[in-house]
Chains A and B, each alone.
Chain A
Amino acid sequence: MSFPVLSLLIGLPLLTALCVAAAPRRWCRWVAVGGSVLGLGLGLWAFLDIERDSAADLQAAYEASGGILERALDRAGLSDPDTREVMRDLLRGQEPESEEVRDALEALAGVRTALLRRREVVQLGQPPVEVERAEQGLLLARARVAELTASFESLRLDLREFRRVAYGVQRRGFRRIEYRAWIPQLGVSYFLALDGLSAALVCLTQLIALLVIGGVRRGNHVRRQCVLLLCLQAGLLGVFLSLDAVLLFNFWVLSLLPAYLMVATGRGGPERAGAALRFVIPHALSSVGLLVALGALALHAPDGPSFNLLALAEVAAREGISPELQRLAFVGLFVGCAVRLPLVPLHGWIGALQEHASAPASAMVQGAFVKTGVFGLLRFTWPLCPDVVTSPGVVTALGVVAGVTVVFAGLTSLGRRRLSRLLTSLTILHGGLFVFALVSLTPASLAGGLLLSVTHGIAAAGVCMALGMLRRRGVERLPHCAGLAHSAPRLALVTSGLFLTLALVPGGGAFVGGLLALYGSWQSGLIEPWIAPWVIAGLLMSPAAVYLLLQRFWARGGDLPRGELRAAEASVITPALVLSVFLGLHPRLLLDGVHTWLHGFLQLLTD
């Protein structure tokens, strides 16, 4: 196995968290920032390197799977070099679990039996005692053959894993594979890999974590906040890099715990405990549905239980999973992701969280945690239920859900009196638009949806941090914003820019993403035509709400002065604005990176 970069990516935040826990209080933040910078560097390197020649990685994949083969031969007790070589030649073919392998195993047993028989025939002329001995020898040899056959059963179990890894990796273009059998009896493995989708989201998470850690205020809780942030970061990275359903579910739940504790024990509003409970209950309940659905799919894999997402997707694509099971599983998987996204009517948690959680907690949740919903839809919900997501009834139903979400978010954004609530509406709107793009299943819509999602992550995290700064200056509601541009022009400018980006105003990455999503949907013709006007109407309402906010910023009046943006604060929110605008000007930076993944994804669903 080559150097485990992906394990390092996940482990680095945890290692940094340990260092932060042990460091003196005044150094905590700097240690955390250092770890995050390293993590971001690793993530960027992995992302920019994703489209390189895949030969080396393919070799690595074969090495990883070859390791499985060698271990399997060891366990089967085949120590003889010649026999091992023969087995290797046989098994390294295109179909290692084919009939030939079984035949080879049976032939091996047959050869041994024949040898014993010949020995018996040779001994026919011997006295009865010798014949009896020979018979005993024969019995022993038969026992050995039976033992060998039992060993070969376990060999076949391992070879099944070999086939799953090698086949999936080859077909879907994954890189930097890290594979180890974890609990073979349950079909669970430690399987990490990187593709365009995960690389983009890993970079996003690392970037947001760095910005948020940079924005944690000094004080009593800096150590705890940094440790929880780093644990959350590790959990999210684990979700984005896992290709085994159980491993992914582990990280999925693991990311929930620090997020809950950050919201519940951070420096938020007085109702933060209630907000944390409202946050964690729907997520925990929806995780149950997710686990049951994944378990049901894993148990119905034809080769025995397997949680390998690549293998399951291949099985689903080859119509190996019944439509009834797919329908039931889709409900569990979709609800699990829709809560995180969030979609109407599962969005209740996000408003309370945004209002009462501390700025770092809400930035991490809005910027990165929400993206696990996007990832879940793309990584397992759609690939594991291909028949369901392409059936016209479900497409229409999902289009309606997306349309209702966008219209609801647009309407509520117009009536918001709190800045945090306005941000909540915009997040819900982005979730709805992403699902609208996903349902269409065209390259343009998917690329647009992903661009929209990444830009939203960066801008929403920036807005959350900006709202924290405004809260410290006594600005929480719209009326408080009056005259902010005169008392704190730089703060007002950056906040306005971030809000405008989120509202899909031209110039930001979200605008390009939204445009691509709408174009792709029109191009596909899968969605009923009457849904699109509603979505567009909902989208037009959000800029109107943001323009109303800007009007307040630039109006005269208000309680001056409020304090201008400090350099430390600017270093947190300005990069978010710059990046989200840069993605609008140069969207190919992201789209080139996800090109291979996008085509593999569409091929899997449409073949």
Chain B
Amino acid sequence: MLVALILALLGVLLLAPPLSTNARTPALAAGVCMGMGAVVLSGRLSLFDMVTGLWAQDAATDFAQLVALAATVLAITLQRDRPHDAVPPGALVLAAAGACALASATHAATAIAGEALLAVALGIMLRAAGQELAGLVWTCGVGIAATLAGAGVLMWVTHGAALDRIAIGAGASPRGPLLAGVGVLLCVGLSPFTLLLPGGVWLGRSRRIPAALLGWILSVLPIAGTIPCWRLTRSLHDLEAVIGSEWRSVLAALAVISLCASTWQALRQRCLRRLWCWLGIGNASLFAFGLAAGAPGAHVEAALAGHACASLIAHAGAGAVLTMAEGWWGGNTRLQRFVGLGQRNAFLGVALGGFLGLLSAIPFTAGFFPKLHLMLAGQRGGLTWLVVPMALGLTWVGLVALRTARVLFHVKEKGRAEPLVGSPGLTLLVGLLGCAALGLGVRPLTVAWGY
């Protein structure tokens, strides 16, 4: 919580006029985020968090905070070349604060507070990007209300008090299984920050989000939004003797429907940024599937951590390439523009195709083993009937990525095309992310079990 508090203060400071117009503000914001990352790594702030009682500083929180901070630094770096339409770094830091708060919340009230902070920061960022806010305000409002209602239902069913300490009191509701399903559906499905459909539809409908910001949203929000749900469902798993296990099927089915629906939307897109956005929403639904499949002993947390890393790499990499493309073509990222990119800059063509492919389960990359682990956990947990459509959905994602790769390597005309030169810094970043994707594909235990 202290991390979130410091970041929030800094975010407000950076949004104030003297600092928000200063050219060195991005560097300052990135530096502070890195410093906070080091603090999280060293674990020095955990004492304060444990004292407050309503927040937790455990491995999951550390992980989410590190991902949020890393994504924030990346997003600030990616925008370096486009100062005219960049999102204010202060807003990004504020959003990181919201994500950190949400990830460390252990009570429904603190989770809602984190969500509210995140919603405000997102509003500022999207407004700066020229996005109409009416839809966001409506969706976030409904989503937060639904989360609150869902948490309330679950607490009533289980007579519990906190997300990670739910206890069955005397005379638990006889309609437990049904209500538990409804509660989880409200809590997870309608939350705007798990990016699960229908709660995450606001992102799919947003049209003017720059690639750097979109990368941040896609990599941070699902993790921050999923961790409170993970605390909740971990308790529900322990209570299955009383409340039944139907909620798992409901949640897994919702995740699979969300995956397939968003991939279908991705297939219809003619703009690469929006295609990526829908693929990212589909990819986020695997977190919810993991929550449903994560029976005790399945070690599904390891798979979720690996999946989160793969998402971060994929979204940061795709964001970097698309940021370069926005620079080349004045913000236009229509798919037609990318025809023959592989011929004009083979490295970036391969990288973009690879990063989109990472969202499916391409072998020997960071995306494969977490998804395999989730599938096996689902099979072990009796969700085989949902594992098959999930695998088909992932195959569909792979086909969309392959179709995009074909466009990238399609040869428009004979002869040598004019080469496109990317920014050296971003190209280096793309290379490093590519190495990380391959490295985690070959040594998946580095993140999944080492944390």
Interface residues of A (CB under 8 A from B): 21, 183, 185-186, 220-221, 224, 246, 249-251, 253-254, 257, 260-261, 264-265, 273, 276-277, 280-281, 284-285, 287-288, 291-292, 295-296, 298-299, 305
Contact = CB atoms under 8 A, between A and B. Distances in A.
A254 B442 CA distance: 14
A186 B363 contact: no
Interface in B367-400: 368-369, 372-373, 375-376, 379-380, 384, 387-388, 391-392, 395, 398-399
A185 B306 CA distance: 14
B127 interface: no
A299 B380 contact: yes
B80 interface: no
Nearest to B357: A257
A411 B215 CA distance: 55
Task: Classify the secondary structure of A's interface with B.
Answer: helix
Given A183-B369, A185-B299, A220-B415, A287 B410 contact: no
Nearest to A284: B395
B178 interface: no
B363 A254 contact: yes
B435 interface: no
Given A186-B376, A261-B405, A292 B362 contact: no
Contact of B376 (A21, A273, A277, A299): A299
Contacts of A21: 346
B372 A280 contact: no
Contacts of B388: 288, 292
Contacts of B357: 257
Given A250-B368, A287-B395, A186 B375 contact: no
Contacts of A298: 376
24 contacts: A185-B449, A186-B372, A220-B414, A220-B415, A221-B411, A224-B409, A254-B362, A254-B364, A261-B409, A264-B410, A265-B409, A273-B410, A280-B402, A288-B395, A291-B372, A292-B375, A292-B379, A292-B384, A292-B388, A295-B372, A295-B376, A298-B376, A299-B379, A305-B376
Contacts of A265: 406, 409-411
B290 interface: no
Given A183-B445, A250-B363, A295-B379, A285 B409 contact: no
B363 A249 contact: yes
A205 to B, nearest CB: 18
A281 B399 CA distance: 8
A295 B378 CA distance: 11
Enumerate the 6 nearest inter-chain pairs by beta-carbon distance, A residue then B residue, closest first. Answer: A250-B363, A288-B391, A264-B406, A265-B409, A284-B395, A254-B363
Contacts of B192: none
A253 B362 contact: yes
Nearest to A287: B395
B444 interface: yes
Contacts of B403: 277
Given A183-B444, A186-B373, A220-B415, A273 B406 contact: yes
B145 to A, nearest CB: 38
A281 B403 CA distance: 11
A185 B395 CA distance: 25
Nearest to A296: B379
B299 to A, nearest CB: 7
**Most-contacted residue by chain B among A254, A281, A291 (CB, 10 A):** A291
B405 A285 contact: no
Nearest to A253: B363
B222 to A, nearest CB: 24
Contacts of B449: 185
A291 B391 contact: yes
A15 to B, nearest CB: 15
B402 A260 contact: yes
A241 to B, nearest CB: 15
A273 B368 CA distance: 26
A285 B402 contact: no
Given A183-B369, A288-B392, A299-B376, A257 B445 contact: no
Nearest to A260: B402
Contact of B362 (A224, A257, A276): A257
Contact of B392 (A183, A220, A285): A285
A292 B387 contact: yes
A280 B368 contact: no
Contacts of B363: 249-251, 253-254
B267 to A, nearest CB: 12
A261 B373 CA distance: 28
A280 B363 CA distance: 16
A270 B341 CA distance: 20
A250 B384 CA distance: 21
A295 B444 CA distance: 18
A21 B346 CA distance: 10
A246 B380 CA distance: 17
Contacts of A183: 369, 444-445
Contacts of B402: 257, 260-261, 280
Which of A265, A281, A296 neighbours the largest number of chain B CB atoms within 10 Å of its CB? A265
A92 to B, nearest CB: 28
A500 B414 CA distance: 38
A596 to B, nearest CB: 30
Contacts of A224: 409
A273 B363 CA distance: 23
